[in-house]
Amino acid sequence: MISKKLGSHFSYDFVDVIRINPLTVEPFDLKNKSLIFTSVNAVQSFFENGFNPDEDFTSKKYNKIYTVGITTKRELRKFGYGTFKVTKHAKELSEFIIDSSSKEKFLHFCGNLALDVLNKTLPLQNISYKKIPVYETQLLYPEITADYDAVCFFSPSGVRSFAKFNSFEDKKIFSIGETTEKEIKKFTKNQVFTSKESNLDDLLNVIAKHSMK
């Protein structure tokens, strides 16, 4: 997909800056809770642990499902589940819940390093909200010796891992979404080219657009 989008004249490497470790969580009754997923890893670990949402809206245990990012939505679809609401980032989801779903009770299945956007806003509005970590993100802190013209980031934790031993200077910087962009800006004043749709296809379009300038 990358070569098709960018062309054969682009060369690229993937560098592991984080490692995902699924956590074992004993499945429990989801009752009539609304479920939030903000990453593909959370969806995968959720089902690997044996959770079973109820999508029968006539049931007293019916679960609405909210996601951040179209990629997360697509991952849920692989397991046969639909999404009630999908937003581009956590801030947008928080605003939607406050405006339209404030009476619901939410369980957020996420990683141990998930940003506190929802946790800091929903309880202040007296909205029932609880985080359930279902995977662990380990920062690897690599020292990258090769010389690259550009770097591309897919998560805030990836940014933090890279930043410990590597510089952002003299490089074009690309980000898959606004949340990751905000993390990058903690470490550099350089311009960041950001995919507004928070998915790989749109990010590749951004890279193609700006890499020739």
For each successive 10 residues of the chain (213 residues), what is the average pLDDT? 61 90 96 96 97 91 94 95 93 96 97 91 96 97 92 94 95 90 94 85 83 60
The fold adopted by the segment(s) 20-138 is Rossmann fold (3.40.50)
Q: In 194-206, which positions are buried (b, 16+ CB within 10 angstroms) versus exposed (e)?
A: bbebbbeebbbeb
Cβ proximity of 33 and 107 under 8 Å: yes
Question: CA-to-CA distance for 213 and 150, rounded, in angstroms?
Answer: 12
**Nearest-angstrom CA–CA distance, 31 and 52:** 10
Q: What is the pLDDT of residue 202?
A: 83
Would you state the pLDDT for residue 85?
A: 97
Query: In this predicted model, what pLDDT tens digit does every residue of 158-211 receive, in sequence order?
Result: 999 999 999 999 899 999 988 899 999 999 999 999 988 777 888 888 888 876
Residue 63 in contact with residue 54, Cβ under 8 Å?
Answer: yes
Predicted TM-score (pTM) of this structure: 0.87
Block residue for tokens 């550009």: 150
Residue 95 makes CB contacts below 8 A (sequence gap 6+) with none
Report the pLDDT value the prediction gives residue 68, as an integer from 0 to 100: 93
Return the domain boundaries, the chain: 2-17+140-210, 20-138
Tell me if residue 140 falls in helix, strand or coil: coil
Residue 142, token pair as written in the block: 């690599």
Name the nearest CA neighbour of 90 among 64, 124, 67: 67
- In this prediction, residue 179 carries a pLDDT of 85
pLDDT of residue 9: 64
Round to whole Å and give the CA distance between 40 and 51: 15
Distance (Å, rounded) from C-alpha 206 to C-alpha 213? 12
Q: Report the alpha-carbon distance of residue 138 to residue 118 in Å, rounded.
A: 22
